[in-house]
Amino acid sequence: MNYKLLLLFLATSLLGACATSPTGRKQLMLVSENSAIQSSSQAYVQQVGQLKKDGKLSTDAALIKRVDTITGRLISQAIIMRPATAKWNWSVAVIDDPKTVNAWCMAGGRMAIYTGLIVQIKPTDDELAQVMGHEISHALANHTAEKMSVALASSLGVLAVGIATDSKGVALAGAAAAAVAVTLPNSRAAETEADRIGIELAAKAGYNPEAAVTLWRKMNGLSKSNPPQFLSTHPNPENREEALAALVKQMEGYYHPAAEHPVYALNGQPAFN
Residues with Cβ within 8 Å of 242's Cβ and at least 6 positions away in sequence, in order, are none
Calculate ∠ Cα 91-87-42, nearest 5°: 55
- Please say whether the beta carbons of 140 and 85 come within 8 A: yes
Is-catalytic flag, 33? no
Alpha helices in the chain (DSSP H): 3-15, 33-53, 61-81, 115-121, 125-140, 143-153, 156-164, 175-183, 188-204, 211-223, 229-233, 240-250
Helix (H) or strand (E) holding 114: strand 110-114
Tell me the three state secondary structure of residue 20.
Answer: strand
Catalytic residue, chosen from 33, 127, 135, 200, is 135
Distances (CA, A) of 241 to 13, 195, 212, 217: 38, 11, 8, 7
Rounded to a whole number, what is the largest CA-CA distance in the chain?
Answer: 66
Start-to-end CA span in the chain (Å): 41
Cα 154 from chain centroid? 21
- Catalytic machinery residues: 135
